[in-house]
């Protein structure tokens, strides 16, 4: 259960990161509210998960999911660069997260 909650919390990290960008410095109410709610839920899920998952592994997996999700959002929705090197770097992050989970 902790791994599922951690994965959802990582996805919520992507949500709050995107909402933070869309809030334009917390000046837009709806994206600012989405940011706040997603941030609280993401942190609560991380905290719950770290009761049974080692902190180094849990935090790295949480950040990895959020970082890759946010980067993919930027590529798909915001037309950011999808260069081969950038995609390779994202693949390396995913490989690291999978490695930490497998070696747990």
Q: What is the DSSP string of 5-64?
A: HHHHHHHHHHHHHHHHHHTTTTTSHHHHHHHHHHHHHHHHHHHHHTTTS-HHHHHHHHHH
Q: Does the pLDDT at position 78 exceed 90?
A: yes
Domain enclosing residue 93, as ranges: 2-103
Q: Does the pLDDT at position 40 exceed 80?
A: yes
Mean pLDDT of the chain: 96
Tally of structural domains, the chain:
1
CA-closest candidate to residue 23, choices 37, 41, 6: 37
Q: Does the pLDDT at position 60 exceed 90?
A: yes
């Amino acid at each position: 259960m902790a791994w599922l909650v951690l994965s959802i919390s990582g996805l919520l990290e992507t949500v709050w990161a995107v909402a933070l960008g869309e809030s334009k410095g917390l000046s837009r109410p709806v994206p600012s509210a989405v940011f706040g709610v997603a941030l609280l839920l993401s942190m609560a899920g991380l905290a719950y998960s770290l009761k049974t998952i080692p902190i180094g592994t849990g935090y790295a997996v949480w950040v990895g999911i959020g970082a890759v999700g946010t980067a993919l959002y930027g590529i798909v929705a915001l037309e950011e660069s999808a260069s081969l090197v950038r995609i390779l770097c994202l693949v390396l992050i995913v490989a690291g997260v999978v490695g930490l989970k497998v070696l747990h």
